[in-house]
Structure 1
């Protein structure tokens, strides 16, 4: 009996010990889980560098300081083989795809502007006449994201935090601010330029500018950049670009040569006053100044609830279009942008905390080398003769259908046919698409042609056809899709452009840095729609509702 009592006492003690131990272990696990859940960045900063090719990171590496691009690469994660998986590669679709986690086939932003089949007119990706301009008497503020069909990672943050997390979008270009900020943003601001040089917004977001914006516009923050554009460093050190004065670059109104220095005060009025700053690194300086003012004015990253600041640097695109990929101007612009990035990171360290924020940097598209320059290097390249093509194509249409009216519009390398006229002529749409495609494939500079019927009925998994299909929205896109040969564009003979499915337009950087991001790099292929779900996974929230990308697991660091 005594032994039995001893045994029972021993078993009871063991049970209590095990129970306590299990409860303690469970408590520890719950506490650790709570810590992991609570350890979210106070602020996410999304940076899109408009028209940044991946090789700008490597070409100008020796010109960069330690605090900008190099800090992001050396202390963050570099996705070296990052691409757009669709075309057309342009600003509106690019920004939208970065933030929605999907492509134009799903989110609907198929170009900066496109032919609207219902109205029979061109529409702008962010235009919305139902709202009023705020901060200006012009129509420049009549904008909203209403044509974007899916949510963004910034929308999901607003939903996830019960609207307590702030979202602010900033860019010189309206679309570069509006589309990343999403449908439910607190604000998006863009630069009007012209005679005012003010930052403005839309009544979609607010009834009046906040005081910090009013104060910024009233200051000399923008006026200080009304000065000549000279190189930041001695021009002889700019060895990663071509000769300064050449025939591949544009010429500002009032200038006699297209080389440094560019005397902006002298040619100010002739070039739209403050608009000329967009075509220089000063536009990026202004964007940085305003973004840092927003950081303070909106109290971003001040508490444990994650905020989101979406910044787009537009001037890199303006400079690229005007001067080209190989210009001294583009090299100087990136050297100066590197300093802007360093300024942003240093301010985030001070205001938010070095271990308390996350940054990603990517681009909305890349760009082609100037074809005229490529031709001079004996590389196959050229320009589509759109005038000659139209004359030849009109002859074909008259011969085949008796009228040229069967084609309503050509934009973004897509033809929109008049389905009603074809029906009245008793011509099958699929047959018309195929006949037109065969005709256009014979024209100089055209490498491939696809039909809307092919986009509807096939599931392409690789190659150019897959890229086109990812950009093809069944309600909005055209009936015949053109793909120029590599190196061929429809553009002026000076400056660079983009828009194609070719690799020079799709290969862009993706750098991730800060809280929750590993240090390292990968050459595995990643794609633009992967960014939004990666940030969503980092924040532990639902993905944007049209997501087709996947989280890049190798960049995330979970405890």
Structure 2
């Protein structure tokens, strides 16, 4: 009897202990499932090559880029998985978790086969600018076909989680914030120097935005731009005076210092700030005001703030990848990031927010500079290309009007004209492919027929296919030789599938993020699914990327 009683008591205590462990396990799992950050901050640096992290590393302080690198997770082998690598597609892909093949933003501007006109990725004639009377500022995300993770967070929180997008460029603010954002703000230069929005979001600017615009912050940056440190210490970039930089109108040489107050009148007024590091500074100023003004991260419902620093792109286009100007821009951006992170610590709380930082594309070294170093590079003459192609079409098909548009390295054929001439689309495509492949600086040529019917998993062909949208892309796709661009002889550009354009930083930091790094290849489309998984929300509805589980704590 005593033996049975002992067995009963043993089973009783075992059962109680087991139930206790199950309850504690459930509580622990519940805590993990619900331990969401109060704020997610998605930072995009426009035209940032990965090697800007390593090349300028010794010039950075401890609380900007290095804070993300040393206390967060560094994906060192992160790439774009499509072409063309432009700003609009880049921002859309980062936040939707898919490529232009699905989200539809195939370029910044593209030829619309239905309206027979060139359209802008964020342009919307059905809305009005708010904060400006400029007709050119009528913008919305209506051309983006899929949701962003910010949209999914809004749906998940029954619209209680806020989303605010900020950038110098309209597309850099609008596309990341998604369709359901509370607001997207961008900088109107010229003679205004203000942050504006559109009637897609609201009918008047909030008080905090109006107060910021009235503070003359933009005007305060119309001052001398000189190097942050002694220029002689800028050993990570080329000489200040060289033949590979553009510069500003009104100044004979592209050399420091630049008196912006004097130069503004010949460089479109406040627009001159865009092509200096002070464009980053005013975005950081505005983002810090937005955190407080919108009360972001003040409760347990996750908010989203997207911040795109556009000025490195303007500086890179003007002065080039190897310039003193680009080095100084990144040194100063590091300081602006430090200010932003300190504000997040104060306003939201240390450990209460999550940040990721990436770029919308990289950039090529100035081809003229590469040529001077005996590295293959060059310039593609579009006018000469059109002339040669037209001569071929007249000879082959007795017609000079078969092409509607050539843009973004794509040829759009006039389907109505082909029908009138009783020409077969596939035959014309095939003839053009076999002709154009012989032209100077053309490396590869593919037809839309190939993009639609073949399946590529590697190489430039896979990138082209991920960037190909059946309703929006052209009939023929061109691939130029590496480091060959259609651009001026000064300054850098981007858009190709070469690694200098596809390889960009990807840093995660903060709530829910491990410390560490990886050389495993990651893709830009992995970001949105990873943040969605961190938040426990639905993935964007077109997402094709993978969750980077190794970055989540």
Q: CA deviation at 1:440?
A: 1.0
Alignment correspondent of 1:55: 51
2:88 aligned with 1:108? no
Q: Which runs of 5+ in 2 are unaligned?
A: none
Q: CA deviation at 1:485?
A: 0.2
- Map 1:58-97 to 2 at 5 A: 58-97=54-93
Structure 2 CA distance for aligned equivalents of residues 33 and 502 of structure 1: 44
Q: Which runs of 5+ in 1 are unaligned?
A: none
Match of 2:246 among 250, 257, 262: 250
SS at match of 2:119: strand
Q: CA deviation at 1:10?
A: 5.0
Match of 1:39 among 35, 44, 47: 35
- Map 1:138-537 to 2 at 5 A: 138-537=134-533
Q: CA deviation at 1:401?
A: 1.8
Structure 1 CA distance for aligned equivalents of residues 23 and 85 of structure 2: 51
Structure 1 CA distance for aligned equivalents of residues 12 and 131 of structure 2: 70
Alignment correspondent of 1:545: 541
Q: CA deviation at 1:402?
A: 1.8
SS at match of 1:169: strand
Structure 1 CA distance for aligned equivalents of residues 154 and 400 of structure 2: 49
Q: 1:298-319 CA distances to partner (integer Å, 9 max, x unpaired)?
A: 0011111111110000000000
SS at match of 1:354: coil
Alignment correspondent of 2:131: 135
Q: How many residues align?
A: 553
Kept after mapping to 2: 8 A contact 1:140/1:192: no
Structure 2 CA distance for aligned equivalents of residues 223 and 170 of structure 1: 19
Structure 2 CA distance for aligned equivalents of residues 34 and 554 of structure 1: 21
With structure 1 as the length reference, what TM-score do the two structures score?
A: 0.97
SS at match of 2:138: coil
Q: 1:149-182 CA distances to partner (integer Å, 9 max, x unpaired)?
A: 1110111111111111111000000000000000
Structure 1 CA distance for aligned equivalents of residues 4 and 324 of structure 2: 87
SS at match of 1:449: strand
Alignment correspondent of 1:20: 16
2:122 aligned with 1:126? yes
Structure 2 CA distance for aligned equivalents of residues 10 and 75 of structure 1: 54
Q: 1:261-289 CA distances to partner (integer Å, 9 max, x unpaired)?
A: 11111121111110000000000000000
Once the two structures are overlaid, the 10-residue window that deviates more, 348-357 or 230-239, is 348-357
SS at match of 1:268: helix
With structure 2 as the length reference, what TM-score do the two structures score?
A: 0.98
Structure 1 CA distance for aligned equivalents of residues 151 and 158 of structure 2: 11
Q: 1:438-495 CA distances to partner (integer Å, 9 max, x unpaired)?
A: 1111111111111100001100011010000000001110000000000100011110
Structure 2 CA distance for aligned equivalents of residues 233 and 353 of structure 1: 32
SS at match of 1:435: helix
Structure 2 CA distance for aligned equivalents of residues 299 and 484 of structure 1: 48
Q: CA deviation at 1:352?
A: 1.2
SS at match of 2:383: helix
Q: 1:187-212 CA distances to partner (integer Å, 9 max, x unpaired)?
A: 10000011010100011111111100
